[in-house]
Structure 1
Amino acid sequence: MRQGGRVIWQELLAIIKQRKKEISENKGSVAPDLLTQMLLVSDEKGSTVINDMMIAINIMGLLIAGHDTTSAAITFVVKYLAEYPHVYSEVFKEQMEIARSKGPKDLLNWDDIKKMKYSWNVACEAMRLSPPAQGSFREAIDDFTYRGFTIPKGWKFDPSRFDGNGPAPYTFVPFGGGPRMCPGREFARLEILVFMHNVVTRFMWEKAIPDEKITYNQSPIPVHGLPVNLKPHKS
């Protein structure tokens, strides 16, 4: 892992060096992306504000945040759909309605994504129970009462809690809130729903290891990677 990390750092620093060269040569093809913007930041005297290593650290953070969290969310969507056939059935029904409305060569578009309301409820419930970026599983180990509300022991997978206006503001914030809300929120939603559409319309599945344990680090991860047995739908 350390060796792989060194390779990634070297690659990032090489990309930064190349981009700086392109900027200094004033090439019109320089991409107006985040990397370029960070390289162009300067103080009142025109001096560079962010050094190469700090830029590499920020880019690495974005790569990890954009990959690990979304892949963890998708993993637990797959896990819970395998464990709750009635939830899978509703997702399948919603996604097949969308699939049947498309031509054989038509791709998903934004209007299709907006129709995936129940599927997104399922994804939100998966993130509520297994937050991708917080490394903990949400479960009350005993019944207790808080401010007049009784919280029962255990947990319940219930996508319907996100119907209508959903939970009260700031009681469910997988992407943060306010001015520091994750800028990749809508992209993550797109990734998760497109994945759900393509896998659910093609397959049913069951977990290969029914009682697989979950390990917790920055994100919750099934110990064996959540192997599943896929069953293609009959034509």
Structure 2
Amino acid sequence: MSEAEPQQGDATTIKELSDKVNKLTALVERQSKLLAQTGQKLMELQVKDVKSRMAQLEQRPPMSPPDLSDYVNNEDIVQLVTELQTQLDTLEDRTIRRAKNSSIIKPDEKLAPLTNRYGDYPEFELPNTLKDLQELSKIDLIRLALFYEIIIPDQQQQEQELEGTPGFMDPDIAMLHSIPDANVLADNFDEIQMKEVFDEVARYYGVKFRKSDGW
């Protein structure tokens, strides 16, 4: 595949980059506030539930000591806050990397690698440059789309395919050990659909280059 030439009007000015970073920063701040509000509401509900249960206990005659295992404690709150902070850090990191990738024009420019929504990197090698991304084979592109959950295989179809596998016994057990095969899924996508898959992966990375007429 020939190297992609920068199209007229694709040159990104410093002001445009600054505006984009500001917009992404604002998005992270809004999402941070939303997560913080969600955590606060959850704790308020827990506290309200504790008060309600304690009020009920006060109205009952003395009995055996109540089971407090379901009540919120400091450890639960610390764990909740830690999980929320981890999600925010992962989200902010991906936002910064996408902002960097959005400025890429030349094929040999380095891509900032991105984790999936769980904060993990794949075991296989990610594309290092824009050219690497543009020239991914059909199998490698599908494998990348599966990792980022851009393509989500139909579970029923997977079970049907597993039923024809030698040694197949239980579909639920087999599904736990099965990994979607990019080679098998490749037969389900034509050239036009693969262009759309590429564009979705490019959007995930923040890259402007497109192979279809979509945005």
TM-score, scaled relative to structure 2: 0.33
Higher relative strand content: 1
Which structure would you say has the larger Rg? 2
TM-score, scaled relative to structure 1: 0.31
